Structure 1
Amino acid sequence: MADLVVIAFPSEEKAESVRQRLLEMQKEYLIELGDAVIAVKREDGHVRLNQLVNTTAIGAASGVFWGALIGLIFMMPLVGAAVGAASGAISGALTDAGINDKFMKEIAESLQPGNAALFLLVRKFTADKVLQDLEGVGGTVLRTSFNDEQETRLREALAGAGHTAPAAPAAGETPAA
């Protein structure tokens, strides 16, 4: 079961830097993401989605391959490649893997122009290490399917209100009991 987390940021650059941090943590096996999409509300009010995977391009590339292969059978590889690319691009554009695009656009409509939202589909994660790494990055949690305790810990980490060790007493002071 995956959890959904939506965090708003003041800019696309800030959202992208947090997404890159999470992708680095994924390489260290601290978090497993099903999807990580940035939705940006442009100054004209339109919402643009910055997906990790471009399904249209992948569909077109695989369509070219299969179209050319089938075209070779009928002695028309260029026609087959062109038809395959077109049909692959169409099927790729209609494919919606991960978080629903319509849902992301609806949530992003509530943002101020120029702001961005980071949509995360979290399959599993090591909470203490991930939250420690995200401590103080900022952002506002808009939605989450976490339980109340996890959501509170996430909000505190983003705000930089994590648990810190007590300061050592200064020279000449006695520790408080």
Structure 2
Amino acid sequence: MSDLIAIVYPTEEKAEEVRQRLFELQKDYLVTLGDVVIATKTDSGKIKLNQMVNTTAAGAVSGSFWGLLIGILFLNPLIGVAVGAASGALGGALTDVGINDSFMKDLTANIEPGNAVLFTLVHSMTADKVLKDISAFGGVVLKTSLDETKEQVLRDALQKVSA
């Protein structure tokens, strides 16, 4: 079972630091991440999601390949690539993997402009080591799917730095 953890940081740069640290911890097999997204709110109130994977670009690349292959079969590879890229990009744009985008946008709407929320979908982790490592960055817990005891441990660890 996966756990969702959303932590607010004062800047997008701070949230990115934590995300990069989580990727390093994943390389050390201390955490297995399903999705890690940074959401920010602009001064105008617009919500921006900085996702790990750009599904539109990935779909366009995949579609181009298959379009080229089909185009070669029908002796018109350029049209095949164009149609394949367009259909792949459309399919990628309509695909939502990991944490639900509308859920993240709804939660991010409640933060102050300039702040960032780091949304993390954790499949498994060595909690004591990961918590010890990321607690140095501070932050405020916005939402989790952890049980109350684990959530309180997380809140306490992050507050020690913020205080």
- Same structural fold, with TM-score higher than 0.5 when normalized by the shorter chain: yes
The match for 1:174 is none
Which segments of structure 1 move beyond 4 Å, counting only runs of 4 or more? none
The match for 2:2 is 2
Q: Which has the higher contact order (CA 8 A, sep 6+)?
A: 2
Q: Gaps spanning 5+ residues in structure 2: where?
A: none
Give the counterpart letter for 1:81 in structure 2.
Answer: V
The match for 2:15 is 15
Structure (1/2) with the larger helix percentage = 2
Deviation at 1:94, TM superposition (A): 0.3
The match for 1:127 is 127
The match for 1:65 is 65
Q: Gaps spanning 5+ residues in structure 1: where?
A: 162-177
Deviation at 1:159, TM superposition (A): 2.2
Distance in 2 between residues matched to 1:124 and 1:24, nearest whole Å: 15
| Conservation of the 8 A alpha-carbon contact between 1:38 and 1:49 | yes
The match for 2:88 is 88
Identity of aligned residues (%): 60
SS in 1 for 2:136: coil
TM-score norm. by structure 1 comes to 0.89
Deviation at 1:136, TM superposition (A): 2.7
The match for 1:41 is 41
| Conservation of the 8 A alpha-carbon contact between 1:71 and 1:77 | yes
Deviation at 1:43, TM superposition (A): 1.0
Superposed CA deviations along residues 105-127 of structure 1, whole A, max 9, x for unmatched, are 00000010111100000100001
TM-score norm. by structure 2 comes to 0.96
Give the counterpart letter for 1:113 in structure 2.
Answer: P
Root mean square deviation, CA, Å: 0.9
Distance in 1 between residues matched to 2:121 and 2:113, nearest whole Å: 24
| Structure 1 position 156 matched with structure 2 position 150 | no
| Conservation of the 8 A alpha-carbon contact between 1:32 and 1:122 | yes
